[in-house]
Structure 1
Amino acid sequence: SIYRYIKSVYGRRIEYHRSKRKKRRWSRRRRSKEKLTDRKFIDERPEIVAKRGRIGDAEADFLVSGKTGKGIILVVADRKSRAPFLEKITDITINNVHLAFLKIQKRFPELKTITTDNDLLLQRHKELEKLLNITIYFCHPYSSWEKETVENINGCIRKDIPKGSP
């Protein structure tokens, strides 16, 4: 039987090999994510914003270039007129995102509110609100369909600018 073999002279080799083998230690490294704090969720928007009642209430999103391309495109779309405003960001930093929002506000001075997703590039959203003098609302996590206007425009842009474009 197996036990007789293990206790025999030949079976002792198994114990030798088992003790020489290193045990694997599986450890998960958890990356600490920066959290977005003091967010105003989409539920807190005024009724006029939710019903597309005025020009100046916009939705914002980032189009990522892909594996080979570097940079992102900031897409801001007005909810009522559905007019898109695009700004390319080659060096992806929070300060450059703020500058891109400022450039878009110069072209779209009626900007009053922005609805966006929970992107880490907006972790200093309170600073951006003061800079642009607007209110920023956030979608619920993993619910990008709550900003359907800009997602639809992103789909149209993807037809002309495929993933991985420089």
Structure 2
Amino acid sequence: MPRYAPNKVETAVKRRYFELLREGYRGAAAAREVGVSTSCGSLWFIDAGSMIVDDPAPISPRFLTQDDRIAIADGLHASRNVKEIAADVGKSFQTVYREIQRNSKPGGRYQPWWAHNQALLNRKRPKAEKIRADEDLRGVVREKLTEKWSPQQTARFLLRAYPDQPAMRACPETIYRALYAGLLGFKDGKLRTGRSKRKAHRRGVPVPNKIKNMTLVHQRPLEVNDRAVPGHWEGDLIIGRHQGSAIGTLVERTTRYVRLIHLPDGWKAPQVRNALIAQTASIPYQLRKTLTWDQGREMALHQDTAALTGFRIYFCDPHSPWQRGTNENTNGLLRQYFPKGTDLSVHSAQDLRTVAQELNRRPRLVLGDKTPIEAMRGYLTRPITR
């Protein structure tokens, strides 16, 4: 079979030919419509597997489309790298690798219309669940999970133990799906991690910044690091039961002086912005230099907050709480007053002021047994430059 039809027409013409077939046109009529001979169209049809599977209703964009498969075929024909092809179609390179492996023709050639037909056939539902239908397979999988094997280890064992029995194989995803569907029992089939629900992942897909126009902590002024000058703060939220309430926490790096932010209306970005603006207005302007926060969505309106408070706001790297270690330590002290798993909305603004005063009157070894209030007053009695 030649690699392409003899007349080698443009891909757009072939695409339209197969679209017409899926719309119900006969081969000869579709060929006339796109301007090729009936025999040319027949060669295309045979090369695509001599069948046409109707496209389903619109599906999730995470699936490859017919145009994506055409782009993959064109890239392979041009001897392009798989990662380059993946970038062109906007998918991860793992997705493109799997597509080529699964849907190439038996001879190894990737033909986009054949591949699309195969993908549509494999996607058809309902399908019998492999582990549900096979009692022997189900028993082996349950036994291995009971012995604390992971689904990946179990899948590899099945491949080794039953090399000539395809029916006794299951990939890790099949095992996970059966487990979460309750086909392997509640206790005997429990994962060694203890999870009973799937945890969402986005493997291979770059996650965009959740907060726009962030300035990262590495760009802070150097004076922040040596703690010689006050006015540099760290902030965060402590979250209540079922993530239904929160309290904002601010601590000044040099003096360890604490301010608590009352959030009676919730802790989404607009509420946090408004509360920070209103409740930091009493801090002397010369003590509002920088504020370091983590990358929580509650600070999505950080540019408004910075403009209206005078703070220059910096963000930690993801999963790097040590970059605002003073605040982390302070949050640990605050949990004595606001235990985890409790409803924080029951605390009034006056309650928060009382707790902050207690902490600010507690002597700290790092301050030479001074209290944060004493340390702050010591700086306020001398000129502070911004």
Question: TM-score by structure 1 length?
Answer: 0.76
| 1:78 equivalent in structure 2 | 252
CA–CA separation in structure 1 for the residues paired with 2:272 and 2:279: 11
Other structure's SS at 1:161 match: coil
Larger helix share, 1 or 2: 2
Shift of 1:33: 7.6
Question: TM-score by structure 2 length?
Answer: 0.34
**RMSD of the TM alignment (CA)?**
2.5
The percentage of aligned residue pairs carrying the same residue is 28
| 2:139 equivalent in structure 1 | none
Amino acid at match of 1:43: H
CA–CA separation in structure 1 for the residues paired with 2:232 and 2:215: 15
Contact 2:277-2:305 at 8 Å conserved across structures: no
Contact 1:129-1:135 at 8 Å conserved across structures: yes
- 2:192 matches 1:88: no
Amino acid at match of 1:117: D
| 1:62 equivalent in structure 2 | 237
List 4+ stretches of structure 1 deviating above 3 A: none
Amino acid at match of 1:147: R
Higher relative contact order by CA 8 Å / sep ≥ 6: 1 or 2?
Answer: 1
1:57-90 deviations in Å (ceiling 9; x for gaps): 00000000122x7321000100000011001213
- 2:330 matches 1:160: no
How do 1:119-158 and structure 2 match up within 5 A? 119-158=296-335
Other structure's SS at 2:343 match: coil
How do 1:13-24 and structure 2 match up within 5 A? 22-23=126-127
| 2:279 equivalent in structure 1 | 104
Larger strand share, 1 or 2: 1
Q: Which runs of 5+ in 1 are unaligned?
A: 1-20
1:18-60 deviations in Å (ceiling 9; x for gaps): xxx8227x8x897x98721211111111110121121110000
CA separation of 1:159 and 1:90: change in aligned 2, threshold 3 A? same
**Largest Rg, 1 or 2:** 2
Shift of 1:144: 1.0
Q: Which runs of 5+ in 2 are unaligned?
A: 1-124, 130-176, 178-199, 345-386
CA–CA separation in structure 2 for the residues paired with 1:37 and 1:94: 13
